[in-house]
Each structure stands twice: as structure tokens, then as C-alpha cells.
Structure 1
Amino acid sequence: MASQITYSSTRSLEAQKEQLSFSEAVVKGIADNGGLFVPSKFPKLHLTNEMTNLSYNALANQIFSLYLTDFTEKEILSCVDEAYDDKFDSDRIVPIKTFSQVSFIELFHGRTLAFKDMALSILPHFLKTSANKLGITDEIVILTATSGDTGKAALEGFADKEGIKIIVFYPTDGVSDVQKKQMTTQEGKNVSVLAIDGNFDDAQTGVKNIFLDTELKKQLKENGYIFSSANSINIGRLLPQIVYYYHAYLELVREGAIAIGTPINVAVPTGNFGNILAAYYAREMGLPINRFICASNVNHVLTDFIKTGIYNIERPFEVTNSPSMDILISSNLERLLYALSDGDASIVKKLMADLAQKQSYELTEDMKRKLTTLFYGGFATDQETIEAIRTIYQSLDYVVDTHTAVAYKVYLDYVRETHDQTHTLIASTASPYKFAGAVSQAVGINKGTQDDFELIKELSRMTGLTIPAPIKDLDSREELHTKTLSKDGLKAEVLNLLK
């Protein structure tokens, strides 16, 4: 029997610290004081050779049983089996491809062809089970900001789920053609998709402000609605991502790339910091990870932060060919700050207040030391991203998307700088078909006047890759969501939709 684990806010001082169950935390999404929920401790899961025989679902059950201590074994099993089924086109769920000292963990075999499927396939089941356990009869309204992939994965997960509405906001010019079409063609009686005349940070800030608007929440509560989130600020989004790092490690052991207990490095293309934070949480549980290679594009606020200990968002916002990382305010970094400060909420509160008031904050010397010991930061320009795709294709006969290419380029920089030959797991976060324009350019296809959907077919012909079923006829689907809002219009639109 797992010992009880509770969840509290990163900003709650000891005297006011709430101790919520997983059910309460996942329904709430974000704490009333603006903080993010973190577990009261990290349970340990020690690796054995026998674990290499576990299926993805069996491993997920084992890990969730450690964190969801208010769920029954039957409830966890039901959530896992509903989530990780034939909607994934690989029976391994997350297969890996190994080339000498580097392996790519393919996190894009779900319905929306991106790593967000790994958590957003199970979050609706966590949420529905939690609401039932808590006796909630109000309709749950999921508010989500997306830089491209979260939106479609959330829509896919929550579409036509009884007792739930979902509203997704995305930046008008900050997503690829494929990402946009995936969202705007989404069917479902309970879904709304809205473009924001701004960037991802504008959308994310607008959603957070709605969550913290007590008057609005009170008004909607009176009408039978409560808010929750499908963004990675929700602890129910973060915990499922731990599973695939354990699974990938066991796959490496199973195929003989490493022996059990051998440390690895992890390289992750990073925007909102949730994916790499899940790897950090896995390390806290006992997974032998030596170094975290945090890869950014030219919006390299995280690279500068890791190098200097100063987080500064006073800088231009760039639109790049790796749009899911076009982010300046990395929400999940707050959870790492909490860990680096040894759970000192007073430090986290001060840092977050400095960010809001001064657009920057600086870590304590002790936190800087811990950060640089574990994390390495680097970035890639758009051209370097194209070159990385080309290098991987020519040298490994393997095609990756732009975000994965950013991680590979920064991994090479890390090896050159440190001479560290530790086997490295690279998070391959999206199908190359989602970013067909940039990928086609990299592998030598002349774009000309072709749009991304024509390039998908061209890319398939040239590389021999099968076009994934979810986007095969995407260009011919009817757009159902065409409204664009000003970045200040989110609250009014939410009220309008929930009249």
C-alpha cells in the first residue's frame, strides 16, 4: 500500500499550506494563490531487470499507484486502459530509435502526432474519475492556451465528454498550418477553438488571469460551472509524462544499449518546461539521469537562465520554425524553483512577484549551483534547426521534426563542450509531418508554391515515410472554428460562451 501523497501550492507558506488529494488538485488545476500543485514527496521506484518485461500500461499503473493515493487500483487501471489503447499506432506506445550513443524516444504516435497525447489521453479520465469521487455535479470548463500541440491533444481528449466543456486559445501566427487545421476542424458539441491576435504568452497569461479572477469564478459557479485546466500547469498533465522516461530507460536496457543502473542524459526541446520537468521528477524517484540538456530556439530565455541564474523576459518574442517553443514565460519552471529552494515557498513567491513586477528574477547562489550541476542550456536558430534535420537525415537515414532537431543540435553542442559520452535520450516530440514546410526544405524538397499539405505528400514520396492517418485528409476537412479575438478579449468571450 503506497503511503499517502498530498498536493500543495508552490506559493503556500507552511502555516497556510493546503494538503489536497490528487482528485482535488487535478480538478482545481491551479492553486487559488496562483501557485502550481506539487506532491508532498517523491515516491521511489527502483529499477530491476524484471521490469523490462512490463508493458507501457503495466508500468503506468505502477507509477500512478504511487502518486494517486486516493484512487483505487481499479480506478487507475480503468484510466490507463482507456488512455493507452489502439489510438496509438505503435504497440510499444512510445518506441525508441537508437543510433550508437543517442536514442530518440518517439512521443508522437497518438492521434494528434505530438507528445501532448501522452498526458492528454489520460487527463480526461483522471478528471472525470476525480469529479465523481468528489461528488462534483457542476459542469467542468477546461480552459487551455496552446502554442500548437496542447490544443489539438486536449480537444481530442475532451471532445464530447459528458459534463465537460473545453475552450482552446491559440496565437494566430504562432502555429504551423497543420497544427492550425487540426484545431479549426475539430468536431464536438462541447468544444470551442479561438485564435488570439497575439502570441502564446498572451494566451497563457489571459487564461491564468481568468483562473485567478475570483469574481468571475463565483459568477460562473452560480451558473453551474467550475474551471479546470488541460495545460501542463495541471499536475494531472505532468505525472503521466514521468511514465515514458521510465519506459524508455527500460527499453534501452531491454535492447542492450545500457545495463540496468547505468546513468543516461536526457535532451528535451523545451518551451513551457513541463516535459523536461517530468524527467527531473523521474530522477527524483530514482531513475538514473545524469544531466538534463534543455534545448531552446531563439526565444532562449531558458538557456540564459541556466547559464546565469537570471530569468529575464524583457526581450523580443520571435516566431520560429519550432513554434511549440515560442514561449518566454515557462510556467512549469516554478515547480523546479520550488525543488531547487528545498520547498521554500517564500522564495518562490518572491521570485514570481519579481517576474510580475520587474520582468525578471535572480536565483540565490545555492539555487544557481544546483541548477547548473544538473542542467545544461543551449539553443538553435531556424537555420541551425534546418541543418540538424538535414544532418540526421543524411547520416542516420532518419527524419525528425523541427523541435527534435533543436534538441539534437543542442545535444551535439553539449558533447563538444563537455566531451561527455553518456548515452543520451532525446525527446522526439512531434511527427515531422506536422512541420512539413521546414522538414521538406531540410531534406532537399523545393517548396516553390506548394503549401504544407502538398509538401506532406512530397515528403512521403521522397522519404518513404507513411503519412499518418490523422492528417492524411486534413486539408479537405471543413474549418468549424474561425473566430479571432484581441488578446484582451478572452474573459468576455468565456462569459459569452458560458451564458
Structure 2
Amino acid sequence: MGLYHSTRSRDITCTAKQAIRRGIADDGGLFVSDALGDVTIDIETLADKGYHELAREVLAALLPDYTADEIAACVAEAYTGTFASTEVTPLVPLAKAPGADGAPTFVLELFDGPTSAFKDVALQMLPRLMARTGDAGTTDERIMIVTATSGDTGKAALAGFADAPGCGITVFYPEGKVSRVQNLQMSTQEGANVAVCGVRGNFDDAQSAVKRIFADRELAARLAEHGVMLSSANSINVGRLVPQVVYYFAAYAQLLRAGAIQAGDAVEFCVPTGNFGDILAGYYARRMGLPVSRLVVASDKNNVLFDFLTTGTYDRDRPFYTTTSPSMDILISSNLERLLYYAADGDCELVADLMERLANEGAYAVPDDMLARIREVFGCGWADEDEVAAAIRRCWDDNAYVIDPHTACGYHVLEQLPAAPGTAARVLLSTASPYKFPRAVAGALGLFCPPDDFACMDVLAKATGTTPPAQLAELQEKPVLHTDVVDIDAMSAYVENATSRL
């Protein structure tokens, strides 16, 4: 796989371990490798491989400076006894395929981990990868993970890094813009190395501030004097992105084992996404040989990605909406930068110019030929709040299957968008348990919803015959440990103060 370098300059290079340890390049770019696709995965043998074996193979291809023993240990630690299903990300068929073309549709359940969200798959892995980067820096250097979350990354990162040796973690979330369940997941987190803080603003404000914190050379110098460096658990970190590539291959393997497709058949994936990391992992899988007919971006009312994919113009200067799918309430999709790099055939100067325009002018437009290359692979659609509620209701009526609002965005898009030509099956990535958003789901199903979210879980459970994940139902009994709230411009000082505990 070779060295990694910044999307904005080939002058900033490092190994995979160094890229994971650093999180983001010094120029603000994201780490990429020009060797993506040089190593491919044998599709003919996928059906014979379980999740652990697939994870070892994919990670070895994308992180070449990790030894086979290191990767095997990371996989075993991350996925043994931590997920409810032995498949880790089980595939469930829908009785009635959404959409008029009737292509068989499956749901890839990514929420069987400890925090009931898809980010567990990567964030159970990232701390293990991070712990084995010691040869990438001084052995006594400690790492402070700094992360902004729109809802799910925060808790998944906290669960992975709490009390991890040599690490601390600071999580910022937009105050009042996550669900009560998501809030409690973070505010009740135990761990001596943990800091959780609300910010007065939206996710994009918090994420932009985190990027400025990483770019602050004076802060980095002060922290280095105390043996501390900063890194990220957001999907801007390649160590977050790479583990997500695995479940695309795992979904294909399960389709093969079920007899739903034959080796070589093309599969379409529909992905609810705001920050573009989850669907970018599918692009990586496609570059590594997975037969993907199309990757479909499903957005909520904050449909900046839909507008980009249909017009070629990315414009962040638009109204921000707080929706029932908070993890997608994002106007600056950080991981899109990696796709721009590959779609531009590795033109770092072009990527740097586009990112500078976004920062200074609030928008950029890509060349027509570049947009055409992107649209050869990516489709798109979006759902407003009424359409999300209706999709939850229809999925239940047609399939007796309960989905959360994020997944419902994807379900609606699949109903509206015919399958790409040559598609043998469609897979909808389900990114969170419906019990993380019980009020929205119960309301969509027409159930009487009491004012308390946990009482609402009980109503939903009785009406659908499903069971809330224990780790969510038990939140109401846990004491709140984190109540800090700061303004955006106070985030840097908060991080510096948090590092004093390391």
C-alpha cells in the first residue's frame, strides 16, 4: 500500500501507523495512499470467510506496516465478544423490496456493537491500532484524542478509548442537537481519561474548531513539552475509515452464502451519510475489487451532498436544519476531500484550492469531467422529515422491520431511485438502533409516546415485539458525570486543560 500523504500535498508523507497516530496532516489535509487498489480481495473465496478473516485481509492490504500478528491481535480484541452477532454486521432480507423494480433488498445491521451505532465497528478497532503505533513516535508520548460528534461518534469513541493506556479522549457535541439517549450515552461515560463537553453551536462549528485545534502549532508545542500529542477519532483518521471497508466485503460474503448472488454479480449499496466516511469506505472496497454497481448517498434535509452530486457545486452557506437524524445534520462533509483527491487523479493542488475556497468563500465547484467521474460511481437522494416518518411506517407495514430515522432516509431513497443497471441485489446500511431515537420512531408508527424517552422505548418494544439493547435501556439508571458546556472559541482551552489529567 506504500506511504500515506496529505490530500493537499505530497510533501507531507508518513507510514500508515504515523497517519493513524497523527490523525490529520499538518496542512489540514487528510491522509491518502496512491496505492489504493493495488491489492485486491479475491471475490471467488469470499463466501468461505468470516468477519475476522475478512478484517485481517482488508486491514493488511490498507495498513501494510502493521505485522500480521499485530493485525490479528487488533481484530481479535475488537470483534471477540463485543458484538451481539457472530457476523458482527449481520445481513437481513426485507420481505418487500422498496422501489418499483423489485430488486431484492437487504439491510446490513451495523448497530450490534456496544453503543448501538455503526461507528462501533471502527471505534472498537481504532484504539487497538493506535496502541500499536509506538514505533511511530516516542514510546512515552501520550495521545489526547479530540473529537467532534454529531451524535454517535462521541459515545463509540468514548467506549473504545475510556481508560486506554497512554491515551485520553475529549469529545465535543452540539448542545441540544443530539437525542436524549445520545446525550446520556456520553454524559454518563466513566473513565479517568475522559472529558465530554457540549458546545454552543452546531456540529459543523464544533468540527471546524477541532480542525483549527489540530492546526494550532503553538498549542502543539505547549503540549509536546508535556509529552502529549493530539489525534482524532473522527473518520478524518484513516484508522477510522479502514475498518469500515471490511463490512462491505462481509455483506457480499453473506449474500453469496445465502445464494442471493453469484460471485462477480454487482451489488448496489445505499448509505445514509452526512460526513461521507461511511460511503467512502464503500468506494475503497470498490477500488479493492468488490463488484459495486453504484454507491447511493442518502441525505436528510441537510442535503448538501445531494446538491453537490447533482450540480458539481458544494455550497455550505445554506440553512442548517435540526432533524430526527442528528448524525447526518452536517453541512461540511469532511471525508468528501478524499474522494475529490481520487476523482482528480491525485491532483493535490486542485484539492488544496477547492478546500481553500470552501474555507474562505463557503463554496467550490468541481470541473465537469471530475463530476462525471464521480457520478459514474455515486447516486444520491434525500428525504425531508415527513418522508422519513413515512418511510419508517412503510418499512414496518411492509416488512415488520423497525428502522431508525437515519436508515429511513436510505429506505426512502431506495423507494425513489431505480436500481442501477446490472444490479443483482441492493443493500441498505442501517447505521443505528431505532431505540436510540425512540420518540421519532414511535411517533412515525402512530404510537402514543409518553414524554420520557425510556418509557417510549417500552411502548415501542411492546408494539413491535422487539427488545431495546440493554446498554440503552440501562442509561436512565446511570449518574450523569459530565455537564460542561463551552462556547466555540473556548474549545482549545478546554482541550489543553483536559490534557493536564494525562
Whether TM exceeds 0.5 here: the answer is: yes
Counterpart residue number, 1:436: 438
2:109 equivalent to 1:106 = yes
Residue 25 of structure 2 aligns to which amino acid in structure 1? Answer: A
* Matching of residues 255-404 of structure 1 within 5 Å: 255-404=258-407
Moved more, 422-431 or 145-154: 422-431
Structure 1 residue 10 and structure 2 residue 11: aligned?
no
1:224 match: 227
Give 3-state SS (helix, strand or coil) of 2:19's partner.
Answer: helix
Count of equivalent residues: 491
Residue identity matched to 2:374: L
In structure 2, C-alpha distance between the alignment counterparts of 1:442 and 1:494, rounded to whole Å: 39
Deviation at 1:461, TM superposition (A): 1.1
How big is each residue's C-alpha offset from its partner over 1:315-338, in whole Å with a ceiling of 9 and x where there is no partner? 011000000000000000000000
Say if 1:23 and 1:419 are closer, same or farther in 2 by CA, change over 3 A: closer
Deviation string 1:7-34 (CA, Å, 9 cap, x unpaired) is: 100000x4x2x33111111001000011
Of 161, 166, 173, the residue aligned with 2:169 is 166
| SS across alignment from 2:115 | coil
- Measured after TM superposition, the shift of residue 48 of structure 1 is 3.8
The SS at the match of 2:417 is: helix
1:96/1:105 contact within 8 Å kept: yes
Structure 2 CA distance for aligned equivalents of residues 63 and 384 of structure 1: 37
1:178 aligns with 2:175: no
Counterpart Cα distance in 2 of 1:44 and 1:287: 12
- 2:490 paired residue number: 489
The C-alpha deviation readout for 1:16-68, integer Å capped at 9, x for no partner, is 2x331111110010000110001231233243443212110111001111122
Determine if contact 2:267/2:423 at 8 Å carries over to the other structure.
Answer: no
| Contact 2:123-2:240 at 8 Å conserved across structures | yes
Determine which of 31, 34, 39 is the counterpart of 2:28. 34
Q: How far apart, in 2, do the equivalents of 1:52 and 1:197 lie?
A: 48
- Kept after mapping to 1: 8 A contact 2:357/2:363: yes
Please state how far the C-alpha of 1:367 moved relative to its aligned partner: 0.5
Alignment partners' CA distance in 2, 1:348 and 1:50: 37
Do 1:217 and 1:227's aligned partners in 2 also have CA atoms closer than 8 Å? Answer: yes
Q: Are the equivalent residues in 2 in contact too, given 1:415–1:421 (CA < 8 A)?
A: no
Whether the aligned pair in 2 keeps the contact of 1:49 and 1:260 (CA below 8 Å) is yes
Q: TM-score, normalised by structure 1?
A: 0.96
Does the alignment pair 1:54 with 2:49? yes
Match among 50, 73, 78 for residue 78 of structure 1 = 73
Q: Once the 2 structures are TM-superposed, how far is the Cα of residue 422 of structure 1 from its aligned partner?
A: 4.5
Aligned counterparts of 1:46 and 1:234: Cα–Cα separation in 2: 23
Cα pair 1:304 1:377 within 8 Å, conserved? no
How far apart, CA to CA, are the structure 2 residues paired with 1:372 and 1:299? 20
Whether 1:473 and 2:474 are equivalent positions in the alignment is yes
Deviations 1:196-234 (A, max 9, x none): 111000110111000000011001101111001000000
Q: Deviations over 1:245-276 (max 9, x none)?
A: 00001101110111110011110001100000
Q: In 2 relative to 1, CA 398–420 (structure 1 residues): closer, same or farther, beyond 3 Å?
A: farther
Unaligned ranges ≥5, structure 1: none
The offset of 1:434, in angstroms, is: 0.4
119-128 or 37-46: bigger deviation: 37-46
Distance 2:359 2:136 in 1: 36
Structure 1 residue corresponding to 2:143, chosen from 119, 140, 153: 140
State the distance in 2 between where 1:70 and 1:379 align.
Answer: 40
- How many Å separate the matches in 1 of 2:125 and 2:261? 30
**Aligned amino acid, residue 9 of structure 1:** S
* TM-score scaled by length of structure 2: 0.96
CA RMSD of aligned residues (A): 1.4
Letter in 2 for 1:472: A
7, 18, 42: which one pairs with 1:24? 18
Asked if structure 2 preserves the Cα contact closer than 8 Å seen for 1:47 and 1:260, the reply is: no
Matched position secondary structure for 2:13:
coil
Supply the distance in 1 between the matched residues of 2:360 and 2:396 (Cα, whole angstroms): 45
Q: Give the Cα separation in 1 of the matches to 2:187 and 2:370.
A: 43
Would the aligned equivalents of 1:23 and 1:134 in 2 still touch at CA under 8 Å?
A: no
